[in-house]
Structure 1
Amino acid sequence: MKAFVAGATGQTGRRIVKELVKRQIPVRALVRNVEAAREILPAEVEFVTGDVLNADSLSAAIGDSTVVLCATGASPGFDPTGPYKVDFEGTKNLVDLAKTKGIQHFVLVSSLCTSQFFHPLNLFWLILVWKKRAEEYIQSSGLTYTIVRPGGLQNEDNDLPVKMSSADTQFDGRIPRTKVAQVCVEALFQPASRNKIVEIVAAAEAPEKSFEQLFASVA
């Protein structure tokens, strides 16, 4: 297995990279600035330059990777096309390339509530709408996929168990980015994760379960 990580220097992406390295999985990290990325990511990582919005740059960057993890996301700002370009077009470019490269598993970090049009997050240039469109594109691609919808993202870790459920069943809650990264990497190893949308939060009332049990519990 060799992992290609898009959004590798983002707050969630960098944790995914570190989790992959901890599991001794070779990583190609897609970055825009290699020198800046070296200050953030482990030395074992292979850095490749490119941009998800530039499909031509992706082909060489993905190299001989066998799995893709996408943790890209539009940054808040004044560009109304940002979520459309990054969350939909960028993901679409990755999915199209993954199909031509015969990628074995595509893991996408999405968000809770993507099916709720009248959600406050959609005030940010319809970001949930475009995340949902990206999910649908992956689902119709023919690729083996896992779509991970986390709740509100926290930079600080905690000891709360992960609560995992099927699509459109959780609508609030928070989760540390470290746990999101663990779920994304575990999805590569769990047969029960394939071709599923999983929603995750960290919850004190959630029973302790293994990742195998968590993925198996989702229809």
Structure 2
Amino acid sequence: MAKFLNTSATNYFLEELIKEAKDRLILISPFLKLNDRMKELLADKNRLKIDVRIVYGKSELQPEEINWLKELTYIRTSFCKNLHAKCYLNEELCIITSLNLYEFSQVNNNEMGVLIRRSDDAELYKDAYEEAQRIIRISEEVRISLERVTTEAENKPDTKSETEESTDKLTSSKLAQKLGVKTNELIEKLVATDHLEIRDGKHYLTPKGKEVGGEFRMSPRFGPYFLWPENLNL
């Protein structure tokens, strides 16, 4: 029989679910932002070579978190459009809850959920597991990187109109590719040359950046990114 979980119980059993995973771990959450404890637990699963799948719909990862996550070989991430489900499973336990993998929710919100044990309710666990697998199948698997998921400079525009409006300009990752450097190295260079500035942990165009033709855009799918003239001189 499923067990009701309040806020503290949800957090407790989610941690236990991750720690007890021996074969597989599935984490489905619209928002992806990891606190230190969650990062510690996931790093341990990676060391044990546990297959971890994370499905998200929006990301608030900072560059340092992205760099950390992309080093974890056994953790695969997928993007699922219009994701609203929050479901966490290992081979024996399943939690369906209001709790996101989002630091603010874990600290400040009032949450509730249910815990399903495979040994107690095999049919219910099976239904939840199969739906989780369906969500994974319809998701776009990505390797977390500064080129794909970032709050500062997105790889490429997501819509046709964005591409049409900027045919003579390149996204940060495309410009970096042309210059033969990594995207994060280009971003650092743009900050150093006063084309971008950092405020509250995010990157913004400076007057100089705008003067040379830099543009800020927002992709409905991936979020904010920058466009630059193809012949930008740094």
Q: Would you say same fold, with TM above 0.5?
A: no
Give the alignment's TM-score, normalised by structure 2: 0.28
Q: Which structure has the highest strand share of the two? A: 2
